[in-house]
Amino acid sequence: MNPDQGNLSSDIRHAIEAAARLIRSADNGVVLTGAGISTPSGIPDFRSPGSGLWSRYNPMEVASLSAFRYQPEKFLAWFHPLAQKILLALPNPAHHALAILEKAGYLHTIITQNIDGLHQRAGSKQVLEVHGTLESLTCIGCYQTFPAENFISSYIHNSEPPRCSDCGQILKPDVILFEEQLPKQTWLKAQKACNECSIILVAGSSLEVTPVATLPLKALENHAKLIIINQSSTYLDPRAEVLIHADVADVLPLISELVVDD
């Protein structure tokens, strides 16, 4: 037993070992990650009772496409503290563990609901951001797209709304808001990855947000094995080959070490 597992229950230790065996034997692994993989990096989640952002705000009032269209300055003011946390955050051990598994060839695709870019900063290469990204901005006037790095400093440090250098209209971060469609090509790639995988690992997602929550179901329909690591229950817990209710930042590094060292 790895000494780092000493503070875990015997059930969780056995589940970690079972997950490592499944990943090691798979020829096409896919991961779906949610907010729970980034909360250890200091980024608040949206749905946890009491602490999630949606327990304090009505998402349709602050984070819908309609809200942005009619009051973009209000959205950017609400989004500002979250954007600060995201852009100052660092990858945690869970992100690094997945990057190690990808580099070693055990994972082929990381599908993430997160917009923080922490998977890429940890070294992962094959990342599908199904809920968009903070890395770019699109003008609501002329629809040009710009790298966020050209505008983000003034927004983060001075709360200045980013504006198009050509037409002067406000730039919208390329994150998916309520009422907005998912990026088509990214979504098609995510579906294809789940249709073709032999194992799917759900890490830090409560599987409550559709249509992304249906992706593991597609994998199961094509006879993939399912591993779930999440603090709370999900609707697919009964169908998981391995189920671990624990912090992904504690569990994933141990799984990665068992897989790669063996």
Q: Which of 131, 157, 223, 245 is catalytic?
A: 131
- Give the pLDDT score at 108: 97
214 pLDDT above the threshold of 50: yes
**What is the C-alpha to C-alpha distance for residues 250 and 168, in angstroms, rounded to an integer?**
46
Neighbouring CB atoms inside 10 A of 145's CB total 11
Q: Are 130 and 183 in contact (CB under 8 A)?
A: yes
Q: What average pLDDT score do residues 229-252 get?
A: 97
Are the beta carbons of 229 and 251 closer than 8 angstroms? Answer: yes
For the chain, the average pLDDT equals 90
Residue 250 has pLDDT above 50, yes or no: yes
Q: What is the mean pLDDT of residues 25-33?
A: 95
Q: What is the pLDDT of residue 256?
A: 98
The pLDDT, as a whole number, for residue 51 is: 45
**Count of residues in the chain:** 262
Give 63-94 pLDDT, tens digit per residue. 789 888 888 888 888 888 888 888 889 999 99
pLDDT at 77 (0 to 100): 85
Domains of the chain: 1-43+92-131+182-262 (3.40.50.1220), 45-88+135-175 (3.30.1600.10)
| Mean pLDDT value across residues 27-46 | 92
% of the chain beyond a pLDDT of 90 = 70
User: Which of 139, 158, 118 shows the shortest CA–CA distance to 248?
Assistant: 118
Please report which confidence band the pLDDT of residue 262 belongs to, taking 50, 70 and 90 as the band edges.
low
Residue type, 188: L
The CA distance from 12 to 1, in Å, is 12
Kindly state the percentage of the chain with pLDDT values over 70: 91
Q: Are 47 and 206 in contact (CB under 8 A)?
A: yes
pLDDT of residue 8 exceeding 90, the answer is no
Helix H, strand E, coil C: the string for the chain is: CCHHHCCCCHHHHHHHHHHHHHHHHCCCEEEEECHHHCHHHCCCCCCCCCCCHHHCCCHHHHCEHHHHHHCHHHHHHHHHHHHHHHHHCCCCHHHHHHHHHHHCCCEEEEEECCCCCHHHHHCCCCEEECCEEEEEEEECCCCCEEEHHHCHHHHHHHCCCCECCCCCCEEEEEECCECCCCCHHHHHHHHHHHHHCCEEEEECCCCCCCCHHHHHHHHHHCCCEEEEECCCCCCCHHHCCEEECCCHHHHHHHHHHHHHHC
Cα angle 31, 238, 17 (rounded to 5 degrees) comes to 55
223 is catalytic: no
Report, as an integer, the average pLDDT of 187-214: 97
Per-residue pLDDT tens for 109-152?
Answer: 999 999 999 999 999 999 999 999 988 999 999 999 999 888 88
The string of pLDDT tens digits covering residues 47-61 is 545 444 544 556 666
pLDDT-derived band at 204 (thresholds 50, 70, 90) equals very high
Tell me if 105 sits within 8 A of 79, measured CB to CB.
no
